[in-house]
C-alpha cells in the first residue's frame, strides 16, 4: 500500500495517523502537489493529496474517501461507530475539521502572494471561518459530543487541523478560551502516530 502526499499536508497527516493507529504497513511517497513536475496527477486527476494506492492496484483520493476505505478494511481499532447516525456525526465533525484545514491552507496561499497583491478581506474571511469552527469544536467538547480522551476519526481530524494551525502560525492565539480543545490536542499529540507524522521544521 502506498500513500501519496506531502509531509506538510494536514489531510495527509490524518490518513497517516489512521494507518499507523491501525498498524497498517504502507510506503509513503512524498509528492508536492503544487510542483509543476509532481506525480500526484497520475493518482488523482485533481492533482491534490492524499491519494492511496492499494496492493490490488486500486487508487483512492480525497481524505474522507480514503478514511472510509480504511474503515472498510475492518482492521481494529474502529475509528467510526457502526451505528449509522453516530457514524454520520463523526463524519460531520471530520468535515468541520477539514474545513479548518482548508481555510488555513487558503490563508497560507494568500500570504504567500506578494504583499501588494494580498487581500486582507480574504484573510479576514478565512480567519472568521477558522474561529467559528474552533468555537464549534470547543462546544462539542463542552457538551460531551466529543471527548478529549477518545481516539476516532473526528478527534484525529481536529488534532490534525490544530497541528496545522500551529505549524503554519495561522490564527495565533487560537487556544485562548478554548481549554478543552487544547487538552484534546495535547492528549493526541503525545501519541506515537502524531509524533511520527509531525511536519518537518522549516
pLDDT of 15 higher than 80: yes
Taking the C-alpha atoms of residue 175 and residue 67, their distance in angstroms, rounded to an integer, is 27
Peptide bond preceding 77 in cis form (omega within 30 of 0): yes
CB-based burial of residue 72 (10 Å sphere; 0-12 exposed, 13-18 middle, 19+ buried)? exposed
- Could you give all domains of the chain from N- to C-terminal order, each with its CATH number? 2-72 (3.40.30.10), 84-195 (1.20.1050.10)
| Cβ atoms of residues 1 and 52 within 8 Å | yes
- Give residue-wise pLDDT tens across range 164-202: 999 999 999 999 999 999 999 999 999 999 999 999 986
> What pTM value is reported for the model?
0.96
Amino acid at each position: 500500500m502506498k500513500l501519496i502526499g506531502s509531509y506538510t499536508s494536514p489531510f495527509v497527516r490524518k490518513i497517516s495517523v489512521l494507518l499507523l493507529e491501525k498498524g497498517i504497513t504502507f510506503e509513503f511517497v512524498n509528492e508536492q502537489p503544487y510542483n509543476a513536475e509532481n506525480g500526484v496527477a497520475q493518482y488523482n486527476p485533481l492533482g491534490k493529496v492524499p491519494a492511496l494506492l492499494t496492493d490490488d492496484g486500486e487508487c483512492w483520493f480525497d481524505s474522507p474517501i480514503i478514511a472510509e476505505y480504511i474503515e472498510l478494511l475492518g482492521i481494529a481499532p474502529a475509528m467510526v461507530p457502526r451505528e449509522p447516525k453516530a457514524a454520520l456525526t463523526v463524519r460531520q465533525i471530520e468535515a468541520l475539521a477539514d474545513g479548518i484545514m482548508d481555510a488555513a491552507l487558503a490563508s497560507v496561499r494568500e500570504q504567500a502572494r506578494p504583499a501588494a497583491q494580498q487581500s486582507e478581506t480574504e484573510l479576514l474571511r478565512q480567519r472568521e471561518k477558522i474561529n467559528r469552527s474552533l468555537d464549534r469544536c470547543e462546544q462539542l467538547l463542552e457538551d460531551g459530543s466529543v471527548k478529549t480522551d477518545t481516539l476516532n476519526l473526528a478527534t484525529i481530524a481536529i488534532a490534525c487541523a490544530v497541528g496545522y494551525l500551529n505549524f503554519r502560525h495561522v490564527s495565533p492565539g487560537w487556544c485562548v478560551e478554548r481549554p478543552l480543545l487544547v487538552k484534546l490536542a495535547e492528549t493526541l499529540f503525545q501519541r506515537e502516530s502524531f509524533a511520527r507524522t509531525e511536519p518537518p521544521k522549516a
